[in-house]
Amino acid sequence: MPLDKKTLLTTVKEAKSKSKERKFTQSVDLILDIKELDMKAPEGRIQQIVELPHVTGKPNKICVFATGELALKARKSKADIVIEKAELEGIYGKKKQLRKLGNTYDVFIAEAPLMPLVGKTFGPVLGPRGKLPIPVPPNVDISEVIKKHRKTVMIRMRNQPIIQCQIGTEDMKDEELADNIQAVLRFLDGKLKRGLKNIKFLFIKTSMGTPVKIKP
């Protein structure tokens, strides 16, 4: 399976051309069919955050669980929402509110001492969504953490040897989309037992467009 940028650029252009104009900005997804994989083995349970070179047209919305100075710094760093301990305790067991938060935000970052409470409160909601909170120490540079996670993507494989992830939006430059695809492929090259040889098929598609196969 190729990693060269020229091939990826050609496929990105074709995927965009096969997508009709919509009244909204479509996402661009990467879909991979993995072969020769034991789904019961650890390699069949991939779930990892990968940082992309470029922020997508829809940067991740970030929720931070923090107290005191870290909470203050998170707000100054423009986290989309900051939930402190008292509020966290107040929403425990409120399933509707927890589900809404779980669906609204893409990345959850938690001050390490709050992790037991965060897990107890949000675990049943975030676990199935593949959005388990990322623990950070109280003295972390939260602005850098937020900046990094604006452009991360979850690479996840469950039950079937299929991976689908958003690598951008149709209004991004073709070169940026190709760079983001390469980042995902490099991760899988190091994660899969046979590297990219474990990839049977690879497609690029817009939200409402036709999948386009990457040709070796």
pLDDT at residue 45, rounded to an integer:
81
Structural domain boundaries in the chain: 5-57+152-213, 62-149
Q: Considering the entire predicted model, what is its pTM?
A: 0.85
Place of tokens 């707000």: 75
- Concatenate the DSSP letters of all residues of 1-62 into one string: ----HHHHHHHHHHHHHTS---SSPPEEEEEEEE-S--TTSGGG--EEEEE-SS--SSPPPE
Cβ atoms of 65 and 109 closer than 8 Å: yes
Architecture of the 5-57+152-213 domain: 2-Layer Sandwich (3.30)
Per-residue pLDDT of 128-148, as tens digits, reads 888 989 999 999 999 999 999
Cβ atoms of 152 and 51 closer than 8 Å: yes
Of 2.60.40.10, 3.40.109.10, 3.40.50.790, 3.30.950.10, the CATH number of 62-149 is: 3.40.50.790
Per-residue pLDDT of 5-54, as tens digits, reads 889 999 999 999 988 888 888 999 999 999 988 888 777 788 899 999 99
Q: Report d(CA 203, CA 205) in Å as an integer.
A: 7
